[in-house]
Structure 1
Amino acid sequence: MSQFSSWALRSDTEPSAIRGEAAVVPWRSLTITMNGRPPQPPLVHNTVRGLLNKLTMARFDPISDKIIALVNTSESETGGRTLYEVVRLIFEAAANQEMFSEMYACLCGKVVEKISPNVGDDGILDFEGRPVSGGRLFRKHLINRCLEDFERSWAAKEDARIAKAAVEQNKDGSEGALHSDEYYAVQKSKRQGLGLIKFIGELFKLQMLTERVVHDFVKRLLGNVENPAEEEVEGLCKLLTTVGQDLDTPKASAHTSTSRASRRCP
């Protein structure tokens, strides 16, 4: 029986109700790709985004199964294009919908378990020079994406600070400043940054990221201890409140496993 009933998240709220839902490609349209040929990029993008918009606690298993089935149609690919796009879209959804980050982390855990071992990428090799495939490849993409998106967010902070300064300087008591492009850019950057950090914490709690990786993020957020930026303090608080007692405990050393924590996921 699904353990979603024990989640703190609401099962009657859809992510698509919070973000405008993209056009959904009906799942039946994927049947044309199931004859040994991987789906084309536009079909992957539209279908996965549509499925992610429909993903809820109540429909976790059927929707996640469809996403995994699509990933597994890419067994004949040599560059891992489909899997990379799926990871990118999951991160995009998680960053934009912080309240569903635990659900998206559980989706990642299920993909690691259920992905075909024949899904590979000739461009990503292990220490013995062999292509990485299956769950190991997906987890590799997860780690890389965490680092890349965090670095990208870090680089965007300066732009956000400049935009915020412009908003503060142009405040004149009118509503114009609150509806300026600069204001929305600041708010979007902040929201996505906190969403990413929350998602990173949830991945760690489900044993998808190691303690060392999380400590690296903590160190980055503590880079300016004497005069920290507001968003860095908020990000650090978000990360520490998410991982809680799972960090720096004897159990944390076991966070190299790729199995899901059944107590958190269905």
Structure 2
Amino acid sequence: MSRLAEEKYNRLTSHLIRSCVTPDILKRVTTLIVEKAVLEPTSCPMYAQLCYDIHNKLPKLPPKTMVSGEITFKKVLLNTMQKVFEGTYELSEEIRKMNAPDQKEERIDKERLLKLRNLGNLRFVGELFLKQMIPEKIVHHIVQELLGADKKMCPPDDDLEALSLSQDYRQQA
């Protein structure tokens, strides 16, 4: 990274950390980072580094209630990632219901978006895993989801492609 790029990165990181003063702002910032990473898979290493740096520099926020515990960037990140994965499943269900001939173009567009989101999700998960921001048990759960519940059925091609991507990260760790 060039010195100018590094200075900009450090300023951006400091600005983001200073702005995350409430749990709601932290959630919005985290959601923005995750969405950008998922839709820009080639930038996932940078977004994972950003998450790692924010996690290490952001102080814990006080709990919203006495029962909830301290709010950390890592907790918010994991919750956000879970919502992104759930949203992907919802989009997949929506696509399955699009059978009318006049929905063909829209279905193709949504299938492309779904594939991009799936690969972006997994690329980002892999990068976060390498930074030890996501526990191995979550990665194992994702792999099991991609393989499917029925061991006699071959998973869809997109899931196998995503699985091979996640295995590449596992071997790097």
TM-score, reference length from structure 1: 0.57
Counterpart position of 1:141: 76
- Does structure 1 residue 65 correspond to structure 2 residue 14? yes
SS across alignment from 1:122: coil
Alignment of 1:1-266 (within 5 A): 4=1, 59-71=8-20, 74=21, 77=22, 80-117=23-60, 119-123=61-65, 129=67, 131-133=69-71, 137-163=72-98, 180-223=105-148, 224-225=150-151, 226-246=153-173
Q: Please tell me whether Structure 1 or Structure 2 has the larger radius of gyration of its CA atoms.
A: 1
Q: Distance in 1 between matches of 2:146 and 2:6?
A: 32
Q: Which runs of 5+ in 2 are unaligned?
A: none
Distance 1:190 1:150 in 2: 12
Q: 1: distance between equivalents of 2:31 and 2:94?
A: 23
The amino acid that maps onto 2:134 is L
Alpha-carbon distance between aligned partners in 2 of 1:159 and 1:230, rounded to the nearest angstrom: 19
Large movers: runs of 4+ above 4 Å: none
What is the letter of the counterpart of residue 213 of structure 1?
I
Q: For 1:235 and 1:196, how far apart are their aligned partners in 2?
A: 9
Q: State the Cα RMSD in Å.
A: 2.6
Deviation at 1:162, TM superposition (A): 4.8
Change (3 A) 1:130 1:92: closer
Measured after TM superposition, the shift of residue 63 of structure 1 is 1.6
Please say if residues 112 and 138 of structure 1, whose CA atoms lie closer than 8 Å, have aligned partners that are also in contact: yes
| Higher relative contact order (Cα pairs below 8 Å, separated by 6+ residues) | 2
SS of 2:133's partner is coil
Deviation of 1:158 (Å):
3.0
Deviations 1:40-90 (A, max 9, x none): xxxxxxxxxxxxxxxx6673212222111211xx2xx4xx11111111111
Deviations 1:205-235 (A, max 9, x none): 0000111111011111111442311221122
SS in 1 for 2:64: strand
**AA in 2 matched with 1:120:** P
Cα distance in 1 between the residues matched to 2:123 and 2:138: 14
Conserved in 2, the CA contact under 8 Å of 1:112 and 1:139? yes
Instruction: Please give the alpha-carbon distance, in whole angstroms, between the structure 2 residues aligned to 1:162 and 1:242.
Output: 33
Helix, strand or coil at the partner of 1:207:
coil
Counterpart CA distance in 1 for 2:16 and 2:166 is: 28
Q: CA deviation at 1:154?
A: 2.3
Shifted more, 225-234 versus 210-219: the winner is 225-234
Identity of matched residues, %: 26
Greater helix share, 1 or 2?
2
Deviation at 1:130, TM superposition (A): 6.1
* Distance change in 2, residues 1:240/1:57 (3 Å): farther
Deviations 1:211-262 (A, max 9, x none): 111101111111144231122112212211233242xxxxxxxxxxxxxxxx
Residues 79-119 of structure 1, C-alpha deviation per residue, up to 9 Å, x if partnerless?
x11111111111110111000001001101111111133x2
Matches of 1:69 and 1:158, distance apart in 2: 39
